[in-house]
Amino acid sequence: MTSFPPGIDPGASGAACADLPLSGLTVLDLSIARAGPAAVRLLSDWGADVIRVEPPPPQDRGSVTGRRRGSDEQNLHRNKRSLCLDLKTPQGAEVLARLVRRSDVVVENFRSVVKQRLGLTYDDLSAINPRVILASISGFGQDGPYCERPGLDQIVQGMSGLSSVTGEPGQGPLRVGIAISDTTAGMFLGQGILLALLHRARTGRGQWVHTSLIEGMLNKLDFQATRYTVDGEVPTQQGNAHPTLVPMGTYRCRDGVVNIAASTDRMWANFCRTVEAGWLLDDPAFQTAAGRAAERRRLDAAINQCTAAFTAAELTARLNAAGVPCGPVFDIGQAFEDAQVRHLRMTRPAEHPVLGPLALLRSPINLSAAPHPERFARAAPDPGEHTDEILRGLGYDDAGIAALREASVAS
């Protein structure tokens, strides 16, 4: 288990929210699953006051993370407050309207028919608050033949083509080991929200920002996509080898495997000299990039013959010193205990009243004018943990809150 970096007190207070660039912004998080909350996490990490709205029991459908108070739940929803509210009731709709009047951003991932039924279209929200930004995320887009389909990461990995270029040749499509389409779409929606906030600063008007899992993944295909859209070539699986650059891939060493990238003429020459394989430099077939690509299979076999004489540590040290990128293949535990990762301090503590201090992943963005707080403002809330606090902030008195609870509108 990852421990806290030396000198970090899990209970120490960090930078005040007022010091963070999104302080003063209020975000209403109506999203479920992973992509929407991932977008909201970007905003909450940088100071936005995020109010997460969830259905009250027994309507609560649980969490996509699988377990309340689990590590995934804590990492996905840290720095947020929770309000349990039944949006389907007139009283719930009134609470929602009060929230929208005070919000800068509303994030949701409902189907279009649900948005219309709940009064959550952009036209509905902008009539309440012309400055509000509606940020929507879906599986396949807000219109078109698949717009009402549920979109899940596994499905989109397959439909985007990502699975077709992942894995070893001839072994069939393979899923990437993380929820890549969810987190990618969440990142893009977060960027879209920031763009909309910049636009509002100039014009005073909100707008509708939306993206989808399929759009995010098609964009993420990047050079593999343009091999088709520009060149007409359909990329295929290449295993651990780079699809276009040679040699670049995973090679044997005495105690496992390493990744090596020696695809330029200079790096190729430095590689051969460093592993004392001058005979590879003398081979006419390997003297040009085109020749090395054409003879990839024979070249990889020759490289494995050379690298097998060294340990991973030896190759990593020698090749990097020679200007040839090389690195070990870690499991996740080894990655987080690596010296460079420890130096970067990719975790920060969050204090949970029951679970105690939790080492959660910080934002990967670094701002010189707003250093990362030493700790998260709060751990992920239990459903409805801040219901009374939020309702009081909206102007409800104790009697009004009690009435909402009695009617099971809030909990």
- Domain definitions of the chain by residue range: 17-222+340-406, 248-329
Considering only the top CATH level, what class is 248-329? alpha beta
Name the pLDDT band for 1 (thresholds 50, 70, 90).
very low
Q: What is the pLDDT of residue 228?
A: 97
Name the pLDDT band for 2 (thresholds 50, 70, 90).
very low
The rounded distance, in Å, linking the Cα atoms of 393 and 362 is 29
Contact 153, 160 (CB under 8 A): no
What are the Cα distances from residue 189, in Å, to 20, 172, 315, 318? Answer: 20, 31, 40, 42
Which of 18-22, 97-101, 257-261, 265-269 has the lowest average pLDDT?
A: 18-22
Which tokens is 37 given? 């909350």
Q: Averaged over 191-203, what is the pLDDT?
A: 98
Classify the C-alpha dihedral 199-204-205-211 as positive or negative: positive
Q: What is the pLDDT of residue 264?
A: 95
Q: Averaged over 285-313, what is the pLDDT?
A: 96
Q: What is the pLDDT of residue 66?
A: 57
- Closest C-alpha to 362, from 78, 151, 86, 108: 78
Q: Averaged over 114-121, what is the pLDDT?
A: 94
Name the pLDDT band for 68 (thresholds 50, 70, 90).
confident
Q: What is the 3-state secondary structure of the chain?
A: CCCCCCCCCCCCCCCCHHHCCCCCCEEEECCCCCHHHHHHHHHHHCCCEEEEEECCCCCCCCCCCCCCCCHHHHHHHCCEEEEEECCCCHHHHHHHHHHHHHCCEEEECCCHHHHHHHCCCHHHHHHHCCCCEEEEEECCCCCCCCCCCCCCHHHHHHHCCCHHHCCCCCCCCCCCCCCHHHHHHHHHHHHHHHHHHHHHHHHCCCCEEEEEHHHHHHHHCCHHHHHHHCCCCCCCCCCCCCCCCCCEEEEEECCEEEEEECCCHHHHHHHHHHCCCHHHHHCHHHCCHHHHHHCHHHHHHHHHHHHCCCCHHHHHHHHHHCCCCEEECCCHHHHHHCHHHHHHCCEEEEEECCCEEEEEECCCCCCCCCCCCCCCCCCCCCCCCCHHHHHHHCCCCHHHHHHHHHCCCEC
The rounded distance, in Å, linking the Cα atoms of 393 and 378 is 19
The rounded distance, in Å, linking the Cα atoms of 198 and 301 is 53
Q: What is the pLDDT of residue 63?
A: 63
The rounded distance, in Å, linking the Cα atoms of 28 and 26 is 7
Q: One of 29, 182, 283, 300 is an active-site residue; which one?
A: 182
- pLDDT tens, position by position, 270-280: 999 999 999 99
Name the pLDDT band for 36 (thresholds 50, 70, 90).
very high
Given a cut of 60, whether residue 13 has pLDDT beyond it is no
What are the backbone angles phi and psi of residue 107, rounded to the nearest 5°?
-115, 130
Percent of the chain topping pLDDT 70? 93
Q: Is the fold of 17-222+340-406 the same as that of 248-329?
A: no
Q: Is the pTM of this model over 0.85?
A: yes
Given a cut of 90, whether residue 259 has pLDDT beyond it is yes
Which of 57-71, 94-108, 238-252 has the lowest average pLDDT?
A: 57-71
For the chain, what is the mean pLDDT? 93
Considering only the top CATH level, what class is 17-222+340-406? alpha beta
Given a cut of 80, whether residue 71 has pLDDT beyond it is yes
Q: Which residue has the higher pLDDT, 195 or 19?
A: 195
Q: Which residue has the higher pLDDT, 1 or 355?
A: 355
Contact 311, 251 (CB under 8 A): no
Percent of the chain topping pLDDT 90? 91
Q: What is the pLDDT of residue 65?
A: 61
182 is catalytic: yes
Instruction: Count the Cβ atoms, other than its own, within 10 Å of residue 115.
Output: 20
Given a cut of 80, whether residue 14 has pLDDT beyond it is no
Given a cut of 50, whether residue 15 has pLDDT beyond it is no
Given a cut of 70, whether residue 325 has pLDDT beyond it is yes
The 10 Å CB-count burial string (b at 16+, else e) for 10-43 is eeeebbebeebebeebbbbbbbbbbbbbbbbbbb
Name the pLDDT band for 33 (thresholds 50, 70, 90).
confident
| Start-to-end CA span in the chain (Å) | 35
Given a cut of 60, whether residue 266 has pLDDT beyond it is yes
Name the pLDDT band for 57 (thresholds 50, 70, 90).
confident
Q: What is the pLDDT of residue 317?
A: 98
- pLDDT tens, position by position, 355-399: 999 999 999 999 999 999 999 999 999 999 999 999 999 999 999
